[in-house]
Structures are given as structure tokens and as C-alpha cells.
Structure 1
Amino acid sequence: MSEVTIYHNPACGTSRAVLARLREAGLAPRVVPYLEQPPGREELRGLIARMGVPVRAVLRRKGTPYDALGLDDPSLGDEALLDAMLAHPVLIERPIVATPRGVRLCRPKERVEEVL
């Protein structure tokens, strides 16, 4: 199993650029097409914890049902936000890269350098 994982959307230019950078660095990452194979609750919660960011920081708004689901409501707790991301994986911002050096939401794409 690879020590490097990218939660990837091949339709996303940033995600493709980060995957290319990982490969340029000589890595053979495990590529998780998260829209088809979303992480489970504990895996997603663990990734967010390792990033050291609030759950809300991993929510994607553009091109998602974010507004329709009322996810801008500040009273929604982490569990409700996780529920929404698990039901609609498109709400998970991408790409997320996990390496032995840490986990980062690589947006902008240059953030991948922090975990190489």
C-alpha cells in the first residue's frame, strides 16, 4: 500500500496538477476517486483532524448543493456537516493529500509541497 494518498477528482484542474506534482516527486500515490469511492465517516473525520482545520473548512460550495442544503447555517455542528459530505461527496473540497508528513487540502495546489 502506498504511503501517499490523494482524494482526487479527475475533472478538477487543481486535483490533476497536484497528482502530477506527486508523480514528478517520484511518488506512486494511491488515487481515491472520492466522488465514486467516498471516505467513510471515521476516515473523513480523521483526515480533517490531521489537517487541523474545522470540518466547515473542508466544505466545497461551488458547483455543489451547499446552498440548497442550507450549509451556511452556523448552527450546524460537525456531525451534520459530515452527514452532508457523506451523502453528497461533491461537498468535500479537493484535492486532499495524505503523506507520512501530514494531510493537506491542496488548494492552492502549491500546498502539496508542505507534505512532500
Structure 2
Amino acid sequence: MSDVRILHHSACSTSRHALDEATAAGVDVEVVQYLKQPLSRDELLELIGRLEDPPADLVRKDGFFKGLELDPASYETPEAVADLLVEHPRLMQRPVLVRGDRAIIGRPKDRVAAFLAESR
């Protein structure tokens, strides 16, 4: 069983940084490419329950979000965030690192090393 699960998007430099940090630290990682294997609503709610960050932080408020004319205030509860990410998985912030009952968003990048150090 892996020490850490990383919800990863290979085109994202911050996500690649998290994988590089894990390799350098010798941490056993399970990589989940969430765009190829989208999480179900139940899996997202479980993830949000472990997340040390506010649920709203799991949503990328990027150009795609704005293009959909979404209101950030509508996506603050776990349920609303999960529903949005089921419909639009590309809006999930990345990377997300999960270990046991804890999860963090790996932004800014310096959060990753500290989280990985705790997993050893």
C-alpha cells in the first residue's frame, strides 16, 4: 500500500513538482490521474472530509470557471464543490495529496515537502 496518494494532472508543473518531491523523499506514491479517472461524488465528499483546506479551495477559479459564468460564492460547501467537480473535473485544484485521514492541496509548492516528511 502506498504512503501517499497524489491526485495528479501531468500537464501541471505544480503537480509534477509534487511527484518529483515524493520521488526525492523516497515516499511510495499512488498516482491518480483524476482527469482520466474522475472521482465520484462520494469519493469527492470523502476527500473533502479529509482536506485541511476549505472546500472552496478545491475549485480552480480559472478562465474555464469564469467562462462558465459561475459564482465562486455558490461553491463553498462540500456538497456544492463535489457536484461541480463531478460535472467539471478539470476545475479541481491540483495536486491533492492524501495520507491516511489527511489531505492537502499542494499549493503553494512548499506545502508538499512538509506533508511528505510527515508521511515517513
- Same fold (TM > 0.5): yes
Instruction: Give the number of aligned pairs.
Output: 116
Structure-1 residue corresponding to 2:68:
68
Matched-pair identity in %: 36
Q: Deviations over 1:9-47 (max 9, x none)?
A: 000000001110001111231100011112222222222
TM-score (normalizing by structure 1): 0.85
Does 55-64 or 2-11 show the bigger shift?
A: 55-64
User: RCO (CA 8 Å, sep 6+): is it higher in 1 or 2?
Assistant: 2
> What corresponds to 2:56 in structure 1?
56
Q: Which portions of structure 1, spanning 4 or more consecutive aligned residues, are displaced by more than 6 angstroms?
A: none
Contact 1:6 1:98 in 2 (8 A): yes
Which has more helix, going by share of residues? 2
TM value normalised by structure 2: 0.82
Indicate the SS of the match to 1:7.
strand
Q: Matched residue of 1:47: which SS?
A: helix
Q: Alpha carbon RMSD of aligned pairs, Å?
A: 2.2
Which stretches in structure 2 are left out of the alignment for 5+ residues?
A: none
On the 8 A contact 2:3/2:27 being kept in 1, the answer is no
Residue of structure 2 equivalent to 1:20 = 20
